[in-house]
Amino acid sequence: MAKTKTKETDADVYEFINSFANSEQKKNDSYELINILQAITGEEPKMWGPTIIGFGSYHYKYESGHEGDAPILGFSPRKAAFSLYIYSDTEKSNSIITDLGKFKMGKACIYANKLADINIPVLKELCIESIKYINEHNECSCRKKYNK
């Protein structure tokens, strides 16, 4: 069975942002996302793998037997766009995501070019809904939907 590659590390979040973010806008948006996600989770930002900033953690175990730890919420300031790990496939999330702003949807994350493209109150609602889902199911909805 494959091992989980993304694990919490001791790397400094702010050093990562300052060395990885490719513009002042990306750095400022990263700091703002830290403030938003930290306020929602009550957790300090931690590096997960080399490029993901995560908040809190939970342990998951799938029917396949694969298990590991993952951040409850997270993001990465990738060069092309932010990867936002804040979404769970729930009825409420699906009903409000159309109001999020300018973004693209991946299997397990939302891609946004900059924070100004995003409706922050909707972002916060999606985060809260995702936390609720994880608390109820102890897994991300992406596995349930895509790994059958």
Question: Which residue in the block uniquely carries the two structure tokens 């400022």?
Answer: 28
What six digits make up the tokens of 108? 């397990």
Instruction: State pTM to two decimals.
Output: 0.88
Q: How do the pLDDT tens digits run along the chain, 148 residues long?
A: 455 667 999 999 999 999 999 899 999 999 999 999 999 999 999 999 999 999 999 888 777 888 888 999 999 999 999 999 999 999 999 999 999 999 999 987 999 999 999 999 999 999 999 999 998 886 555 444 333 2
Phi, psi of 18 (to 5 degrees): -65, -30
Beta bridge partners of 104: 111
How far apart CA 60 and CA 139 sit, in angstroms, is 5
User: Beta-carbon neighbour count of residue 43 at 10 Å?
Assistant: 15
What six digits make up the tokens of 109? 């994350």
Residue 65 has a pLDDT of 81
User: For residue 8, what is the DSSP state?
Assistant: B
Residue 76 has a pLDDT of 97
User: For residue 117, what is the DSSP state?
Assistant: G
The DSSP result for 64-75, as a single string, is TS-EEEE-SEEE
User: Beta-carbon neighbour count of residue 78 at 10 Å?
Assistant: 15
Residue 113 has a pLDDT of 96
> Would you state the torsion angle of the CA atoms of residues 94, 96, 99, 101, taken in this order, to the nearest 10 degrees?
-60
